[in-house]
Amino acid sequence: MHSLLGDLLVGSLAYLGTMLDNLFAFASQLALTPREKFRSMSVAQSLGVVTLVVLAVAVGSALNVIPVRWIGLLAAAPWWLGWRAWRSRDATPAAVHSRRLFTTFAVTFALGGDNLAVWIPLFRASGLVRLTVVLGTFAAGQVLFHLTAWGLAGHPKVREHGARVSQHLLPFLYGALGVLVVIECGTLRF
């Protein structure tokens, strides 16, 4: 039997511990995006998180644990997107934005190896009541996540710097995120 306070604490720690890397990646993406596009970027990021939650619940329920190191193969997504960003540095903003929506989803999902490693056993070990509390905590965490990312990205110094280097920074940002995914997932361990 779990206490409500304990379940809230577990949910908060599981969310915060696994979403910190996503916070900085997402805030960086927002800093390179026009402010009027923040909402659509937030929706894409949230869809990535919802996909990870659904996958973690499904895998946990089926008892078929996907090795986290295989999730690291998703590092190909940010690397591919970084290559495309490099090739389209001079593309029109509308074309870049539509790719950024997919990129935001893909990066959120690709950075989700650590999320899955924590969330699958947590969700599997939770009964219906605890799972409901944990998922409610995740939803509240997601709101705070976006407020924090918007605040970081909306800071005048961050925006000014982002506007100056945005098209040249994206390829390197996605390349680094791909490396982070491989490292966090232990994909290259033999």
pLDDT computed for residue 120 by the predictor:
76
Listed by start position, the domains of the chain span 4-185
Q: Which among 2, 21, 52 is positioned nearest to 149, based on CA atoms?
A: 21
pLDDT one-digit tens code per residue, 110-131? 777 767 777 777 777 777 888 8
Q: Alpha helix locations (H) across the chain?
A: 4-31, 38-62, 68-71, 76-87, 93-110, 113-125, 128-154, 156-185
pTM above 0.85, yes or no: no
Spans of the chain below 70 pLDDT:
1-2, 63-75, 77-78, 81, 89-100, 114, 156, 158-167, 169-170, 173-174, 177-178, 180-181, 183-186, 190
CA distance 58 to 77: 23
